[in-house]
Chain A
Amino acid sequence: MQKLFTQKYLKTKQAIAYAAMSMALVGAVLLGVSIGTVHIPIWDTARMLFYGLIQAPVPESIDPTLENIVMRIRLPRVVLSGLVGASLAIAGAAFQGLLRNPLADPYTLGVSSGASVGAVMTIFFHITIPGIGIFTLPLVSIVFAILTIFIVLFFARKIDRTMRVETIILTGIIFSSFLGATISLMIALTGEELRQIIGWLLGSVSMRGWEYVWIILPFLVIGSIVLYMHANELNAMAFGEEQAKHLGVNVQRKKMNIMLAGAILTGAAVAVSGTIGFVGLVIPHFIRILIGPDHRHLLPLSVITGAAFLIIADLVSRTIIAPSELPIGVITALIGAPIFAIILMRQRKKGRS
């Protein structure tokens, strides 16, 4: 009886988590679209989104200028921040599972910085690879993201064969600073204004439009599906690569798939928004507290929650000192860095006991 009860309880907990996070996402979208210099009533926002969703013309009772603001400016921005948040959160969850390390995240691993080197090169040198057009930006970023993760892991292994948690993070952070400095140097040499560079480095989803939504969407879909297909492998690898192999996981291949998917998600996110830190760290951590570490639920819930989180973070970043805007990375870092510290302290305590 007791057993049945706890099992049901666990299932219920998961169902509640899905429902709550989905509601949070819907709420975040409505708020994100409604709030701004021009206030739009939530009810009107909901109606506009609904008609937009079913491709029906918006009723005349709604001001067409409001419709313009919503559909051309607010909505793409909200959707973009949602997609970026989802990509970073699921990539973070996957990296953490793969490296058995709750401190791993595209940002702390240096993957974000690697991707931004690619993005900056593409943007500031106006590179376009013939034939793929607007996808040049995400593809170059993804290639740089992939290169970075392999280089970071290679060096971490050189330093410490057992690849301890701290070694990987330290290597990632060293690479991150190095790559960040490279970017600054690169942009400074091109003669652009430094303020703009720093703004870009701290991440932003403003003034991007629908084009950027279409740039990131296919990569988010592909990356997420690949990762979800590896949920069981990620669970097995949480017990160490050797044990995963004993359980029947083809570790080398699956690990490669997961790293590639993680790098694709990170690269695409960075390409459209710059380096936004700590989303991939905070969200999976939060979900694990709610429903445990099972990746079959951790990954999808990270997508939903990551989207909601970054929409809210963007909303805060553009309203808190309105009319000016803070880079969104400032908000995520303000929330994320203390949580990073808390996880680190807890881990050290656990390691000692």
Chain B
Amino acid sequence: MIDIEQVSGGYSQEPILRDISLHIDRGSFFGIIGPNGSGKTTLVKMISGILPLQAGEIQVAGKSITAYQSRELARKLAVLPQLTSHAFSFTVKETVSLGRYAFKKGLFQTLSDEDGHIIAEVMEQTGVTQYADSPLDELSGGEKQRVFLAQALAQTPEIMILDEPTNHLDLAYQKELLDLLKDWTEKKQLTVISIFHDLNLAGLYCDKLLLLNQGKMSGYGQPDEVLKADKIQQVYHTEIEKYPHPRVPKPQMMLVPEQSNMKACNIDESMLKQSKKHIVMHVPIPLKSFSSAVTGSGMGWFDTFVNRYVDKNYQEIDHKGDMEHYLRQNGFDPNATVGMMTAVPLDTVAYLSRQGEGFSLFVVVTAGVGNAVDAAYGSKHVENMKPGTINTWIFINGNVTDEAYIQGMVTATEAKTKALRELHVMDKLTGTFATGTSTDSILIAASQQGEKLTYGGPIAPLGQLIGNTVYECTKQALKSNFERRNRE
């Protein structure tokens, strides 16, 4: 649809943009990103024919942009303006009707019936029909934006250009506008070119991105290729982490604030509090936690960890809701708390601190094997969600990568299984060695301070320590549980 070849240009003699070459397909959503002053608006103005080129060529639908008459170009290409205040207040219908200017014929340029139909249609599509005779002044920012969208659509363009369309719009309107445009790229083969300030929005909606830096192309291609953390950091001079979107397969960039005053913290057993009702670990800073708990599960930042004792016959359909209720009742904030349950008496808890090279561990285990299972034959067991019986908490004073979290979990599980094996814990149903219980839970929480720990496998320094400590703790917890049972 649009071919840009080695284009340079700007407002004065010294060009702002240098040597830009790109191709925009029909029906695609093309995003332009870059820091302030990188030349985004300049490029868009050159594509829309406002600024002359100093070198190179821009072709729109196979024809050089300089060869277009004003009206001819307006029939191909529409621009959604940024909202500004206007001296005169036209009505919504008058404003939208101006979109048909390029199609008017004759000396006094009257509107044809076809024009009338198109105007009515685009007003319907953008939902502004009800305001047809209201003055623009009386509309809100979002409504005004829709009116100008209708005006642009009345041009029945093949290309729509937007300069930060979401500026001044609240969140719901931003999404609404971009969803609408995205829909039209698919259904009507509309080509959309838009400047984005928000990298995440750009990543979500665009098929292709151009990253400009100081007037030059710094990245060009699929969002995944362009939105690379190191490249964005270099262009924007700010610390950024890339993360996948939780729902759609698109990259998201996270800003990382300067943390010069972050509190140093060493997690140890002094933070553990024990009662008959629950075991609580309260840490002065939030820890990046990855767990299979009842509440606060998955990945998140939490500063309180609760292992709650429940009766063996605890049957609650909404155990998550019940847990939240319990946390609130006992003065814990469910949003900042990881909550687990166990039917094991809490005085059998085992915990150990260990020191590694540049990091340290604190492991807490409560273990019971009432419903021990051999994972190889799990299908023979009827599913019953009884409260977890081996709950493993691993706290790390260190900076742990995502992959180390997962490796750490694998290592901890293997160590647990080894402990069960050594104590000859059997799956009663199958008569084989048990590998765990049916409802075990695990948590790894790290302070994310200090040196980076990139590997958690069983022979890496972190993995070694996790494996050994979990093994020791699980064994100790099981032993005290057996002793207690024997005593009873």
Contact = CB atoms under 8 A, between A and B. Distances in A.
Interface in A216-248: 228-229, 231-232, 235-236, 238-240, 242-243, 245-248
Nearest to A165: B87
Interface stretch (B72-80, B297-305, B465-473): B72-80
B366 interface: no
Interface in B105-147: 107-109, 129-130, 132-133, 135
A4 to B, nearest CB: 10
Contacts of B50: 242, 245-246
A97 B88 CA distance: 8
A67 interface: no
Contacts of A101: 87
Given A7-B133, A248-B73, A292-B135, A238 B155 contact: no
A239 to B, nearest CB: 6
Contact of A293 (B69, B79, B90): B90
Contact of A232 (B70, B84, B101): B101
Interface in A139-197: 165
B85 interface: yes
Contacts of A249: 70, 101
B10 to A, nearest CB: 15
Contacts of A10: 91, 133
Contacts of B94: 235, 292, 294
Contacts of A288: 88
A3 B132 contact: yes
**A-side binding surface: helix, strand, loop or mixed?**
helix
Contacts, number: 96
A223 to B, nearest CB: 16
A351 interface: yes
B276 interface: no
> Could you say which interface size class chain A belongs to?
35 or more
Given A246-B48, A246-B81, A249-B101, A232 B109 contact: yes
A231 B84 CA distance: 22
Contact of A292 (B75, B91, B101, B132): B91
Q: Which of B89, B101, B129 has the most CB of A within 10 A?
A: B101
Contacts of B104: 232
Contact of A245 (B70, B89, B99): B70
A248 B75 contact: yes
Nearest to A228: B108
Given A10-B133, A228-B108, A242-B50, A248 B81 contact: no
B87 A238 contact: yes
A235 B98 contact: yes
Q: Which 10 A/B pairs are nearest by Cβ-Cβ distance?
A: A248-B74, A248-B102, A293-B88, A248-B71, A246-B79, A6-B133, A250-B70, A100-B87, A247-B101, A243-B81
19 contacts: A3-B132, A100-B87, A228-B108, A232-B104, A238-B90, A240-B81, A245-B70, A246-B48, A246-B50, A247-B98, A248-B71, A248-B101, A249-B101, A251-B70, A288-B88, A292-B91, A294-B94, A350-B85, A351-B85
